Amino acid sequence: MGFALLASALCTLLLPLLLFLAAVKLWGLYCESGRDPGCPLPLPPGTMGLPFFGETLQMVLQRRKFLQVKRRKYGCIYKTHLFGRPTVRVLGADNVRRILLGEHRLVAVQWPASVRTILGSGCLSNLHDARHKQRKKVIMRAFSRDALRHYAPVMQEEVSGCLARWLGRGGACLLVYPEVKRLMFRIAMRLLLGFEPHQADSGSERQLVEAFEEMSRNLFSLPIDVPFSGLYRGLRARNIIHARIEANIRNRMARAEPGGGPKDALQLLLEQAQRHGQPLNMQELKESATELLFGGHETTASAATSLITFLGLHPEVLQKVRKELQGNGLLCSPNQDSKTLDMEVLEQLKYTGCVIKETLRLSPPVPGGFRVALKTFELNGYQIPKGWNVIYSICDTHDVAELFTNKDKFNPDRFMSPSPEDSSRFSFIPFGGGVRSCVGKEFAKILLKIFTVELARNCDWQLLNGPPTMKTGPIVYPVDNLPAKFVGFSGQI
């Protein structure tokens, strides 16, 4: 009897352990089988984590800590297993150059399955070859110099109105990041999708912002569409956004568009379909519009929040910005009207542009990008097997760039002359690079410059919690939402 109980207990304890060890062993063999036997080079160093889950859970929960530990342990190229796929993570200017310039030859864009499912196959990020080239050409017209010249007054109107509301709180505590997200969302709605000001002011704006936040939180999740999973929540939020965008598209089609002047990106996409006599693909239009809104407000909100952080922590830099504004006749006393910020005026603000570059160097909104290997190729002595995902890192590439001295110091002067990216452009890649570089980067630069000018000449502020802890989810943001107090700037420096 006692022997039977002992045997039963041993089976109860040992059998699951043996099964687990067998699963781990099989997982290791599976991961190693991904190596291309026709290539003599070894796989990059690294670990592949747990069966099926790989290291996705650790990466999602730890984010920056996970990536920092990996970088310290394995260097600039290492293997892992993320979002259901064997993956090689790459950083450093020379390595990233090979990836970004290897589009169509070595690699092709391929975001994780959850991203492709939520954003959809019809958005620019998921298109390839001729379709990608054609769509990008159309959207780039919405970011031409003439278009940006038309956008600048609207940007200034929205930014100055937002700051006035902040100052109207009489120095009360304000959570900067959510406020900036709402501002950038309104600007993207008006300029990229053609929403009228009263539409952007409607009560459903907050619902849309919340839907985007929910969608963003769940973009990178395990590809399991069951109730309460990340993918399920992301799709549900995406559907709310699509419904609002479709209503706007149908309203646009029902009314005659005014002639003349630059057109927003959505109008250009509509006209492209009509010009080629193609049937209107509402799903693709919704996916493209969702991507434009996502890229047009999430990244600029992250960068603008970081600008407030760095200028708040470095008052000497803020003073230099104000001196530049003063030298260009842009620093007005409180009872004077602010000077209009047109393209020519903004281009004179070299130091302000360097402040934005330094912010993007230390805190790039997008941490990296995803590719898939089209064939097995060599990278710095390792093989990258065909079919494996390749992630290139923006933030880590900035961190390890030998071009920059005192890397942890916020020093905009490093960009004054000569510009570091001119001598090694892949050491500074906040907007990516190659044929997949961000289509809206000039839009973002102008918007961030206008935001910085209006902020510097209207506001003084105090960060209530000091330097924030930053998190990636998937865009970089402060964990505490950056509580701060804003008061009016006296105009004296």
Q: How many of the other CB atoms lie within 10 Å of CB of 405?
A: 8
Report CA 406 to chain centroid distance, whole Å: 25
Known binder of ligand: residue 39? no
Distances (CA, A) of 46 to 73, 182, 301, 388: 8, 40, 34, 14
| Residues 324 and 224: beta-carbon distance below 8 Å | no
Of 186, 92, 125, 97, nearest to 395 by C-alpha is: 92
DSSP for residue 54: B
Distances (CA, A) of 198 to 192, 203, 290: 16, 10, 20
Structure tokens at 10: 């041993």
Distances (CA, A) of 213 to 112, 181, 206, 236, 283: 19, 10, 10, 12, 21
CA–CA separation, 274 and 259 (whole Å): 16
Q: 3-state DSSP call for residue 355?
A: helix
Of 365, 390, 382, 334, nearest to 441 by C-alpha is: 365
Alpha-carbon Rg of the chain, whole angstroms?
25
Report CA 199 to chain centroid distance, whole Å: 26
CA–CA separation, 464 and 486 (whole Å): 11
| Half-sphere exposure of residue 124: CA atoms within 13 angstroms, side-chain side | 25
Residues in binding site for heme: 438
Residues in binding site: 438
